Structure 1
Amino acid sequence: MDFLNIYAILVAAVSALVVGFIWYNPKVFGNAWMQAAGLTEDQLKGGNMAKIFGLALLFAFLLASALPAIVVHQMGALSLTGGDSSKALQSYSDFMTDYGNNFRTFKHGVLHGVIAGIFIALPILGTNALFERKSAKYIFINAGYWIVTLGIMGGIICAWK
Structure 2
Amino acid sequence: MEINFLALLVAAVSTLLVGFVWYHPKVFGTIWMKEAAMTEEKMKGSNMALIFGMAVFYAFLIAMVLQFLVIHQWGAVSMTGGEIATAKPSYTAFMADYGTTFRTFKHGMLHGFITGLFLALPIIGTNALFEKRSWKYTLVSGGFWIVCFMLMGGIICAWS
Question: Deviating runs (4+, > 2 A) in structure 1?
Answer: none
Cα shift at 1:53? 0.7
Aligned residues: 160
Secondary structure of 2:80's counterpart equals coil
Q: Which residue of 2 is the match for residue 27 of structure 1?
A: 26
Letter in 2 for 1:141: V
Alignment of 1:90-129 (within 5 A): 90-129=89-128
Structure 2, unaligned stretches of length 5 or more? none
Secondary structure of 2:81's counterpart equals coil
Q: Which residue of 2 is the match for residue 61 of structure 1?
A: 60
Alignment of 1:1-161 (within 5 A): 1-2=1-2, 4-161=3-160
CA RMSD of aligned residues (A): 0.7
Q: Structure 2 CA distance, aligned partners of 1:115 and 1:26?
A: 28
Q: Structure 2 CA distance, aligned partners of 1:133 and 1:89?
A: 53
Structure 1, unaligned stretches of length 5 or more? none
Cα shift at 1:75? 0.3
Cα shift at 1:46? 1.7
Q: Structure 2 CA distance, aligned partners of 1:45 and 1:24?
A: 16
Q: Sequence identity, in percent? A: 59
Cα shift at 1:45? 1.8
Cα shift at 1:68? 1.0
Letter in 2 for 1:143: G
Q: How does the TM-score come out when normalised to structure 1?
A: 0.97
Q: Structure 2 CA distance, aligned partners of 1:86 and 1:67?
A: 24
Q: Structure 2 CA distance, aligned partners of 1:45 and 1:102?
A: 48
Q: How does the TM-score come out when normalised to structure 2?
A: 0.98
Q: Structure 1 CA distance, aligned partners of 2:21 and 2:86?
A: 45
Letter in 2 for 1:128: N
